[in-house]
A = this chain, B = another copy of it.
């Protein structure tokens, strides 16, 4: 299922679909695509950010490729019917609890980082974020009137052992396939829910003797990401901390327009989307970077469709166009060739 969404979503997804079609042709994958609505696009058509019919249709596909949601047009709507709700609904209803967000510095783009080259050269972190629990979905929640007449807002940060265990196993397994290091991020010196988080991680650790588990408080993790990010291999944390840390980590690379993400459920079904947002300020101009979405499509082939060879080919094609010096505006530096969204997509297809 293809859900282009809002802002630059349609433009970048169009290029990713073109790349998938090229991969289909070359590797005979037998792909077929359905298009659907999410976010503001769905609000405009149906008055809500994700209809139940659309949700059901997405769940029947083998995977979902999403562009991005949101924009100023829908910012004044009530929280419950805003574009982001569509994203939260599909994550939650399809059980997409494991959000995998790589933060990789492409050597060709080393200059784009705001950090010194020696601090980030070769950066390759994977952040595993719990995506269907924690304070994002905890009840009770709301705004109530106190007896003294003032309002009070409240949310609940909650995790059960099984929720923690599930995401922890995903992270341990990811660490096994990578550098063998897992750093779990919590605030166990203050929050009981993360005391339990730490307990569960420690209980599971002996089952993964080839993984070196460490724990870090979230404030320190934010500092260490700025100070010396290469100390990390895989990081695992809850929904809220993961939201913050994965964005910070992505920005270390200086090229968030390059970073894909996967959100998986227990059976390997997944939703794939770029880490960046819908960038309404540049929507429709044909200058957005489609590479994060193209790389998300590659992740989709690898994780949900078991088409690793085609995924590799897409990633190599992306690397090749970067080697050739092609750059969209967001990653452009002197001496490189500035290209449009469509030109970048076409170049990746041609590099196959």
Footprint of B on A, CB under 8 Å?
79, 82, 84, 88, 114-116, 119, 135-136, 138, 141-143, 146, 150-162, 187-197, 218-220, 222-223, 225-228, 240-241, 243-248, 250-252, 254, 256
Q: With A248-B222, A251-B227 as given contacts, are A151 and B196 in contact (CB-CB < 8 Å)?
A: yes
Q: With A190-B136, A251-B227 as given contacts, are A195 and B115 in contact (CB-CB < 8 Å)?
A: no
Q: How far is the CB of A339 from chain B (nearest CB, A)?
A: 23
Q: Which residue of B lies closest to A83 (CB)?
A: B189
Q: How far is the CA of A48 from the CA of B152 in the complex (A)?
A: 33
Using Cβ atoms and an 8 Å threshold, which residues of chain B touch A240?
187
Q: With A114-B227, A223-B248, A226-B226 as given contacts, are A156 and B153 in contact (CB-CB < 8 Å)?
A: no
Q: How far is the CA of A245 from the CA of B219 in the complex (A)?
A: 8
Using Cβ atoms and an 8 Å threshold, which residues of chain B touch A228?
114
Main secondary structure of the interface of A (DSSP, over half): helix
Q: How far is the CA of A136 from the CA of B187 in the complex (A)?
A: 10
Q: How far is the CA of A160 from the CA of B151 in the complex (A)?
A: 6
Tell me if B196 and A223 are in contact (CB < 8 A): no
Our pick among B141, B190, B250 for the contact of A84 (Cβ within 8 Å) is B190
Q: How far is the CB of A277 from chain B (nearest CB, A)?
A: 8
Our pick among B115, B156, B220 for the contact of A115 (Cβ within 8 Å) is B115
Tell me if A196 and B143 are in contact (CB < 8 A): yes
Q: Across chains A and B, which 8 residue pairs bring their CB atoms closest together, nearest first?
A: A153-B196, A153-B193, A222-B248, A223-B251, A219-B247, A226-B251, A150-B161, A154-B158
Q: With A153-B159, A218-B243 as given contacts, are A192 and B141 in contact (CB-CB < 8 Å)?
A: yes
Q: How far is the CA of A192 from the CA of B153 in the complex (A)?
A: 6
Tell me if A153 and B197 are in contact (CB < 8 A): yes
